Amino acid sequence: MSQGHVHYEVADGIATILFDRPAARNAMTWRMYDELSAACAEISVDPNVLVAVFRGVGGEAFVAGTDIEQFTTFSSGDDGLNYEQRIDAVVDKLERVPVPTIAVVEGWCTGGGLILAAACDFRVATTTARFGAPMARTLGNCLSIANMRRLVAAFGVSNAKRLLMAAESIDAATCHQLGFVHDCVAQTTLDETVVNFCTRLKTHAPATMWAAKESIRRIIAEGSAQADDLIQSCYGSEDFREGVASFLSKRPANWGPRQPEMNNVET
């Protein structure tokens, strides 16, 4: 089967990125991931691009994850770690694209495709689209912490567990109610909806939109999976001891100066 391509073109301030492997529901190959990375780099340095639209070819799927054939060479957990790190790098580049990004979803959006859609700023979907991450029922693999963060931020804890543990798919209408899908429309009005949305975004201040999306990205990304250093710093501080003492003495706390370790805490 073809290795597929990710096509990139720009017209009238709109970059269009097409996932082109319809015979495999646009499942991503290494070449496609590399081409997606290159397209994101192009968008980031082209001042003429005001909005970027990501879409699958064929109408049957946005992206149906990573091509499973590529996992047949894996022989250890290290292979999985290297794979997740490689995918993280591509998704991170997509998430950092400095213009509004829109995932246009027809049909299935699953696995790695769901992650790519979640990394975009907005999702416009047909009423027949479905979103899922059925790895607990199919491959038996898992996601990186970075991609778990994206799904929890997009769906909330309960629905992330529904996707990942119960391996349920969620329809576009429900995703619209959850706020994950911006517009849920009939197939016949999909193109018009996307064009109108792009036209509206193109009239907004690029600096304001960039500041908003980058600020939100940082807020979400700084929810570190490890916070032991912060806990140790607080409970081991003079502030904590003073707080306990002042509370028990029923007096205002006399906080001391900022501790030196606070200047270099990793988050």
Give yes or no for residue 227 having a pLDDT over 70: no
One domain for residues 154 and 258? no
Give yes or no for residue 83 having a pLDDT over 80: yes
One domain for residues 47 and 93? yes
What mean pLDDT do residues 20-28 have? Answer: 96
Better pLDDT: 83 or 226: 83
One domain for residues 137 and 252? no
Tell me the CA distances in angstroms from 260 to 119, 233, 242, 264, 265, one per residue in order: 36, 10, 17, 8, 10
Q: Are 129 and 174 in contact (CB under 8 A)?
A: no
Single-letter amino acid, residue 105? V
Q: What domain count does the chain have?
A: 2
Domain containing 10 — which CATH number?
Answer: 3.90.226.10
pLDDT digits (tens, 9 = 90+) for 244-253: 888 789 998 7
Domain extent at residue 251: 228-264
pLDDT at 8: 97
One domain for residues 172 and 238? no
What mean pLDDT do residues 12-18 have? Answer: 97
CA 135, CA 141: separation in Å to the nearest integer? 6
What pTM value is reported for the model?
0.84
Better pLDDT: 28 or 235: 28
Give yes or no for residue 260 having a pLDDT over 60: no
One domain for residues 42 and 65? yes
One domain for residues 147 and 254? no
Helix axes 157-164, 145-155, angle to 10 degrees: 120
pLDDT at 261: 53
**What tokens appear for 69 in the block?**
């054939």
